[in-house]
Structure 1
Amino acid sequence: MKKLNKIMLALSILPTLLTSVFLFFMNDTVPMHYNASGAVDRYGSKYENFILPAIILFMYAFYMVYTKIYTKYSTNSVEKINNNVKITAILVTSIIAAFNILQLMFLILAILKPDSTTFTDNVPFIINTVMGLMLIIAGNFLPKTKRNSFIGVKTSWTQSSDLAWYESNRAGGIAFVVTGVLTIIESSFIKGINSTFIMVAILLISIAVAYIYAYVKVKKSA
């Protein structure tokens, strides 16, 4: 865990350091937001590139504080607590790593295409591919969580028993993996912002199906 936390800390600090260096090569004003058609609809100060690094640092700080609170006050066994904290650390590290990739992409675009009025089709592809990989990773670890109020699919009925928890999080994990795989595939063929809309639609449908499946299965076994 100590090694993983050190990696998480390094990845949390890295975007701020990279952004500080990249700022020297940027125009004072750069594209900051794109509309649904991919056109720039807002320009802003180059210093706004620190927003995502700040969010990453906040995520790291929140994780550290919340895990300490969970570890101190949880009524679960030490084994379950350590298991859930480790899985959370892996997931948070994966998310922060993904944000590192996105931040680097945004910085490169701000330098190479400071006057661009639209983004290229590669941008949604990279974003959706990274999101797809994050969902696959999360989906693989979700079923490994133990019943708790810290991480996982948490509803009144998933907390009713270990079986209900496992079935629900297993179904949720499958939904995430399926969504991740389909997102990567569809992003290879569908260009632009439409690819992102499809990803969101697939995710919502998969989660809905997973919840219904898990609920029915749990009620039948009750």
Structure 2
Amino acid sequence: MKLKKELPLIGIVLLPFLYLAYVWNQLPAEVPLHYNIKGEVDRYGDKSELIMIPILLPLLIYVILSVVPYIDPKKQIQKMGNKYHDLKLILTLFMSALALFIIHATKSGSLGNPNIIFMIVGALYVVLGNYFKTIKANYFIGIRTPWTLESESIWKATHKLGGKIWFVGGLLAIICSLILDAKLNFMVFMGITVVIALIPVIYSFLLYRKEQKAAG
């Protein structure tokens, strides 16, 4: 791991910690810690619990993505080179932005428009969809089913289809977040997420069955 290359990522990880430290004295002893789908507070707790937000979001993701290439038994992730570094940057940046948003919402005492979160996640789906086709077969990231891990051709075909579906699903999530109310948008967003997660899994199974029949 080259420190010079990692410094921008480390800076991104630290941003929520620094922001939390900056607003710490402005926070009351008890702060809102959970919101319902309407953006209303439904649980309060001690402000010390807020430290878990930057730990569980940007820091944890950064650590996991930094370690994975070294424990990948197939060494496929390392072959992705800069593509993997870009993916790690995007995911770390997303988690840091999400942590900042949550801390700011806690400070202001209101989540504001909950659709903003779904819009951000939709944008992440779009970006990940573009990266799916570059992910080499491995045990840690990507659409890891028993059938994609069994066959490199199934892995490639599944990720090619999955990339398109995630891209379209992300765009739909963004559009719906702009036009629907929070409650309806939550249900639509969950539906989109389930669909884009399930279709590639089913597709990989069908491809496996097709290969088995062809081999038999």
Which TM-score applies when normalising by structure 2?
Answer: 0.84
Map of 2:175 onto structure 1: 185
**Shift, 1:183, TM fit:** 0.3
Q: Who is 2:86 aligned against?
A: 90
Between stretches 51-60 and 207-216, larger displacement belongs to 207-216
CA 1:94–1:81 in 2, change beyond 3 Å: closer, same or farther?
closer
Gaps of 5+ in 1: none
Contact 1:67 1:85 in 2 (8 A): no
Task: Tell me the alpha carbon deviations over residues 60-79 of structure 1, each in whole angstroms, 9 at most, x when there is no partner.
Answer: 22222332222xxx345xxx
Structure 1: distance between partners of 2:198 and 2:140: 21
**Secondary structure class of the residue paired with 2:173:** helix
Aligned letter for 2:92? Answer: I
**Structure 2: gaps spanning 5 or more residues:** none
Distance in structure 2 (CA, Å) of the matches to 1:220 and 1:201? 28
Q: Which amino acid aligns with 2:42?
A: D
Q: Answer whether contact 1:142 1:170 (CA < 8 A) is retained.
A: yes
Counterpart AA for 1:100: S
How far apart in 2 are the matches of 1:154 and 1:146?
11
User: Counterpart in 1 of 2:159?
Assistant: 169
Tell me the residue number matched to 2:59.
57
Equivalent in the alignment of 2:6 = 5
Secondary structure (helix, strand or coil) at the match of 1:38 reads coil
Q: Is the contact between residue 23 and residue 47 of structure 1 (CA under 8 Å) also seen in structure 2?
A: no
What pairs up with 1:1-222 in 2 under 5 angstroms?
A: 2=2, 4-55=5-56, 56-70=58-72, 74-76=73-75, 80-84=76-80, 86-112=82-108, 114=109, 119-120=111-112, 122=113, 124-220=114-210, 222=214
List structure 1 segments (4+ residues) > 6 angstroms apart after TM superposition: none
TM-score w.r.t. length of structure 1: 0.82
Alignment size in residue pairs:
210
How much has 1:32 moved relative to structure 2?
A: 1.1
Q: State the superposition RMSD in angstroms.
A: 2.4
State the distance in 2 between where 1:220 and 1:64 align. Answer: 36
Counterparts of 2:77 and 2:202, CA distance in 1: 28
